[in-house]
Structure 1
Amino acid sequence: MKAVWYEGFGPADDVLTFGDLPDPTPGPGEVLVRLRASGVNPSDVKLRAGARAGAVMAWPRIVPHSDGAGVIEAVGAGVDAARVGERVWIWNGQWQRPFGTAAELIALPSAQAVRLPDGTSFAEAACLGIPAMTAWYALFADGPIAGKTVLVTGGAGTVGRYACQMARLGGARVITTVSSPEKTAHSTAEDWINYRETDVAAAVMDLTGGAGVDRIVEVDFAANQQASLAILKPGGVVASYASASKMKPELEFYGFMFRNVTLRMLIVYQLDPETHRRGEAQLTEWLEAGALSHAVVPGGTLADCASAHRIVEAGEKLGTVVLDLSR
């Protein structure tokens, strides 16, 4: 099979190799998927760059990317043969495993290949595993949101854009923060605040008539901690999936404590199986209804993987960079 891999950390053009690897075979409980699309997420490029402190290669050779979509071509022992030919989307393809979705084929546990409704393209499905599931969990991990007000920070981001849509689908009022008119339109949100030009806390309180918000889906916990304290209702939730501005922020413990706030620090890779199944079921329902829009950024073919990584690293794209493996 054609694949992309690296055998050491470094810049994409220096370490990513495009070539041939042996075809994988599905083991017991696994399926073999012929991939049609591979999603490139920020975590994928950070792992390849060795950006984490003390990072070491967990395996001698790594095929990157956790998200993707394709068609089941074969099944291992214990898996229903009726799954052959099924369209699926992939999650955790390269999480704690050496070989991810930057390849024509992947063998992985059957549960990690989720049925894909016919109305969703493979490129769109390659956006679901990390961005869409992160948005769903951040919103719904602490119960229903119908009738609540939700602030989504960074609503033009890959997670934020899904969160804006899902919050409305869950019956909540959604407010988002963005940094430009272009990102305002991309976010899909009806109520928005340009955080570069406006005091976010004051604007939120004005939009809510002084009531504040019930939930915050947070893209940068450290940068927005003071605003969160100012706008969050007692008993509210901050669900944060990143804190890039400061990885070890000083916590305003008593400020949150006296508001009886729940601080949820989440990473979608670690969802327990039951919770993941619930998220998959909800995504399937929305996909079948055509309720979600997806922001796909074409990244070329598998041979263009290094270029796709550079696009993600530049941080200027609006959407998820996706490699087309059907060509």
Structure 2
Amino acid sequence: MDEQFRDTSSVRRTDVFALVGALAGATATTALIFTRLAPFNGVIGFVVVDYVLFLALYALLVSFDENGLAVRDRLAAVVVHSLALLVLSALVSVVTYTLWRARTTLPHLNLYTQDMSKAGPVDPVTVGGVLHAMAGTLIMIAIALAITVPLGIVCAVFLSEIPGPFSRFVRTIVEAMTALPSIVAGLFVYVTVVVLLGVGFSGIAAGLAISVMMLPIVIRSADVVLRLVPGTLKEASYALGAGQWRTVWHVTLPTARSGLTTAVILGTARGIGETSPVLLTAGLTPRMNLNPLEGPMVSLPLATLTFVKSPQPEMVARGFGAAAVLMILVLILFAIGRALGRKG
């Protein structure tokens, strides 16, 4: 008799019954334990016990129809999907909570067209805005990108194309820099640029501090992407008579274009949300300043921190409005970066 193989990608009715039954049984058992059998309380404890019982009941129900290998496979699939759902729920809750708290400020046009030079702590949300913080954020991140993108990609090319003791040393330093606290980077730029060189609080100093945080992220991500380029493409280029650097420029980098764009986006996401380096190097101002070489400048994360620390509800609402604007700005930059990365 021929063996009958089942398509593992399809979902049977028994699979749904096992999933729903395990969830219902685990929830009912956990409720019984917390309310009748044991002096337990707390939402987190309830969820943890419920999830553990759910996994046990689900494995038991699946074992009635499947063998041990299938039970382990289903259990692993449930755990992976549960973790993905947990991460997605955390992201949705953060975004939803921020937008909900910013609902009183986002509809007002002055949030995007005014600074805080003429607004006081007790003024309504119809006065003042975060235009100066938006401009400061864009200027600082532009300076940081101008520094980190060429340096990061060149360093990643060096690490992937010229292996050796020195490249291993550089890779070790880069990996160590990824764990560098942001406050240390801010203090380093503050001492060297603001104090010793006498530049003062400015956008250029903040951009340098942000670039210190972004550079290891860009290098590591770009290095991984470049090492994934098939070696056969490089060998074909060498066979046609091209040199190493011409091969890198015309074969390796275009092949890894999308991945390099992702590396830049990851670095930008790390740098655009920094607060402590900006506070130490850019200062704080309620006025618009478009000159990164002179005068204090503020960013959206720093403005958010300053606003939400105020006891006035109007300032707190402006803080959540600045956070919502920052999320929208990051989304726009991400979309632009992905569009540029897809171009041939």
What TM-score bracket applies, with the shorter chain setting the length?
Answer: under 0.3
Higher helix share: 2
Higher strand share: 1
- TM-score normalised to structure 1 length: 0.27
Greater RCO between the two (CA within 8 Å, min separation 6)? 2
For the pair shown, the structure with the greater C-alpha radius of gyration is 2
- TM-score normalised to structure 2 length: 0.26
